[in-house]
Structure 1
Amino acid sequence: MKKVFYSIILFVCFFTSSFAQEAVEKPAPPAGNASVGDYYGENVSDALMSKAISVGELQKDLKATSKIESVAVRGEVTNVCPKRGCWISVKTNDGASFFVKMKDYAFFVPTAVKGKNVVLEGSVERKVTSVEELKHYAKDAKKTKAEIDAINAPKEEIRFLASGIKVVN
């Protein structure tokens, strides 16, 4: 009898805790206008700002090596995660874009950063992104079901892990 009773209590606790976790809403992106001078994460120092390279230079450097540990890159934000502001895309010279995640998910950016010029500080690498991860980000970006279903192959791309992002002119 005790075993049945404890089993029921255990089941109820497990069942209610899973509902409680689902009920917790994920936070929205931070509010703000992403004005020139605003920064997210670590503030990008003036010394590093003056050494920031263009996206074109970054692409050229990544042809010679697969990873660069500490770099500052200047570019235009083309997309922002509408759910939390936990990733952005930055335009490349050929009109494509590369993906930027926030280091340790320690900070997020407002959706207002879309279309703004920024300097990113962090590390970058060429990486093969799985179909599952590509579909996850497409879903976050509110792509249509047809667009998500069309993703059927991994993709080699530039992936930036930002420790700081600063809005610039």
Structure 2
Amino acid sequence: MKKIFGIILFSALTYTGAMAQGNITPAAKGVVYGANIGEKKVVAGNDFEQKLKGETPVKMQVKGKVTSVCEKRGCWANVDLGNGKTVFVKMKDYAFFVPMDLIGKSVLLSGEAYQESTSVEELRHYAEDAKKSKEEIEAITQPKVNNRFTAAGITVLD
């Protein structure tokens, strides 16, 4: 009985350790998180929102610079598209996470883009995740239409 309990405890600790942020491969040129999807027809940042008119979600690839990452698990990121617009990125089916050191890196996103209205409650939750001040969180009073992206793969470009 003790042996079975020991095996279960070891397995649980191993799984928990594998899920920790520290075990994610550090960001470096060529590192791929999620599916390794080669670069194909990349949508320019200036054309991103135009591609979303009508049909959504839209399968695409887009390049940008990571401006923030979820500090808890690396389960989301914000990416500057280089045109004054950003896109909020979540990982498809939470199949992978990204490290904090991805901030400031240029990346290739592969997946599906869409626009979505985000509630005040969810915006405040994300602000808490990003360690915003209480005043900044309370200043969020209106929902916001955001560019969103469900990433099947993220490739570090620099």
TM range (shorter): 0.7 to 0.9
Residue number in structure 2 paired with 1:28: 21
Contiguous gaps of at least 5 residues in structure 2: 1-15
Q: 1:82-106: CA deviations, max 9, x gaps?
A: 1111000011344342200011111
Which aligned pairs between 1:31-46 and structure 2 lie closer than 5 A? 31-45=24-38
Please identify the structure whose Cα radius of gyration is greater. Answer: 1
Residue number in structure 2 paired with 1:57: 47
State the TM-score, normalizing by the size of structure 2.
0.81
User: 2-side partners of 1:105 and 1:93: how far apart?
Assistant: 26
How far residue 147 of structure 1 moved from its aligned partner, in angstroms, is: 0.6
How far residue 32 of structure 1 moved from its aligned partner, in angstroms, is: 3.6
User: 1-side partners of 2:120 and 2:22: how far apart?
Assistant: 25
Residue number in structure 2 paired with 1:146: 135
- Amino acid aligned to 1:168: L
Q: 1:50-108: CA deviations, max 9, x gaps?
A: 3122222212222x325243111111111111111100001134434220001111100
Q: 1:121-157: CA deviations, max 9, x gaps?
A: 1111111001111111111111111111111111001
Q: Secondary structure at the match of 2:21?
A: coil
Residue number in structure 2 paired with 1:136: 125
Query: Are 1:113 and 2:117 an aligned pair?
Result: no
- Amino acid aligned to 2:110: E
RMSD across aligned positions (CA): 2.0
State the TM-score, normalizing by the size of structure 1.
0.76
User: 1-side partners of 2:23 and 2:86: how far apart?
Assistant: 23
The total of aligned residue pairs comes to 142
User: 2-side partners of 1:111 and 1:88: how far apart?
Assistant: 9
Q: Secondary structure at the match of 1:146?
A: helix
Contiguous gaps of at least 5 residues in structure 1: 1-23
User: What stretches of structure 1 move > 4 A for 4+ residues in a row?
Assistant: none
- Amino acid aligned to 1:150: A
User: 1-side partners of 2:44 and 2:134: how far apart?
Assistant: 34
- Amino acid aligned to 2:81: T
Identity over aligned pairs, percent: 44
Query: Are 1:71 and 2:60 an aligned pair?
Result: yes
